[in-house]
Copies of this chain bind each other. A is one copy, B any other.
Amino acid sequence: MKAHILVVDDDPRITNLLRRILAYEGYSVAIAASGNEALNRSLERPPDLVVLDILLPGLDGLEVAQRLRSAGDNVPILMLTARDAVADRVKGLETGADDYLVKPFAPEELVARVKALLRRSQEERHEVLRYADVELDTGTRIAHRGAREIELSPTEYDLLLLFMNRPRQVLTREIILDRVWGMEFEGSSNVMEVYVGYLRSKLEAEGESRLIHTVRGVGYVFKE
C-alpha cells in the first residue's frame, strides 16, 4: 500500500519541491501550510510519516511534534531545520522528531531518509535477529549468547544490531561511526574501539569464541 506523507511548511517552493519528489517516488502527499492545518489534516487522514519544517507561523514545528506525541501518535517525524541550527535539532529530537534534514537538502537525501523512517517504523515490532548462537530481540533489547542472557547499554545495542543486520560483511569504521554515532566523530576519538571492546567482553564473558573480528585498516566483521 502506498504510504501517505504529510508535508508541513509555509514556503510554497519547499512544499512544491517536496510534493514533486515524493510523488515521483510513489507516495501519496498531503500539504499543510501551518501547524494548525497540520494537526487537522493529521486527523482527517493519519499519515504514515510527517515532514515538518521547524519554522512555521503560529504553532511551530516543535509544538506540532509535541502535540502529536502527547495525543499518543507515534507517526515518524522528519524535521527540516536551517543550517547550523544545532540547538533546534537537539530540541527536535527531544520533542519527538525521529530524524532531521538540514535545508537545503538533496532530493536523494530526503528520499533516503523518508524510506529509512518508513522502514524503521514498520520494523518497530518485536523481531528476533539470530546469527550463530547469538540472538538479539529488538523488542526487549536483550541479547542471548546460547542460553546466557546479556544486557546491553543503548550504544552497545545499536552496535550489535548493526552487526547482526550484516553478518559476515566487513563494516568499515566510517560506516560504523556513521550508523551508531552519527558521523560527528572522525579520526579524533576511539569510542568505537572502546565499544567494540565492551561488546566483545559481554559476548565472550564465559570464554566463548570471538564473533567480532577486526579487519585491520578497514573495520570489523561479525562472523563465526
Whether a CB of chain B sits under 8 angstroms from the CB of A69 is: no
How many chain-A residues does the 8 Å CB contact rule pick out?
46
Choice from B94, B139, B169 contacting A170 with Cβ under 8 Å = B139
Pick the residue among B113, B122, B170, B172 that contacts A172 (CB under 8 A).
Answer: B122
How long is the Cα–Cα vector from A104 to B106 in the complex, in angstroms? 12
When all copies of this chain in the complex are counted, the total is 2
User: Is there an interface contact between A107 and B93, defined as CB atoms closer than 8 Å?
Assistant: yes
Q: Which residues of B contact A104 (CB under 8 A)?
A: 102
- Asked if B90 and A107 sit within 8 Å, CB to CB, the answer is yes
User: Contact mask A106-123 → B, CB, 8 Å, 1/0?
Assistant: 111100010100010011
Name A86's contact: one of B17, B97, B101, B102 (CB within 8 Å): B17
Determine whether the beta carbon of B99 is less than 8 Å from that of A141.
no
Q: Report if A168 contacts B (CB, 8 A).
A: yes
How far does the alpha carbon of A178 sit from the alpha carbon of B89 in the complex, in Å?
26
Closest 6 CB pairs of A and B: A154-B217, A100-B106, A99-B106, A99-B108, A139-B169, A141-B170
